[in-house]
Amino acid sequence: MTVMTESTNTMYVKGTNRCMIRPCIDEKTGKFYVTSVLDNLMKGQSGNAIQTANIMLGFPETYGLVTPGYYP
């Protein structure tokens, strides 16, 4: 996970297993909010299944997840 100071964009995480977040305070309302982006093809359930299978089979946890995913 990476904490950003500027706006987040999905192009920064495309084909990765990373999540980027940006915490902000709305100056008008004083409310705190967080924006996050991730590539759900990698960080979604498919990536989770690969990570879990790697752990169960004794492979390195990130085996097969560091390869860039295909993006249409």
Residue bearing the bigger pLDDT, 5 or 1:
5
Within a domain: residue 69? no
Range of the domain at 21: 2-57
- CA neighbor of 4 nearest in space, from 44, 37, 47, 39: 37
| pLDDT tens figures, 23-64 | 999 999 999 999 999 877 666 677 788 889 999 999 998 888
Count CB neighbours of 36 within 10 A. 13
**Ranges of H-type helices in the chain:** 40-43, 45-57
Within a domain: residue 29? yes
Q: How far is CA 38 from each of CA 28, 30, 43, 61, 65, rounded to the nearest angstrom? A: 28, 26, 7, 19, 14
Number of domains making up the chain: 1
pTM (whole model) above 0.75: no
Within a domain: residue 65? no
- Contacts of residue 10, defined as CB under 8 A and 6 or more positions apart, other chains included, come to 37, 38, 39
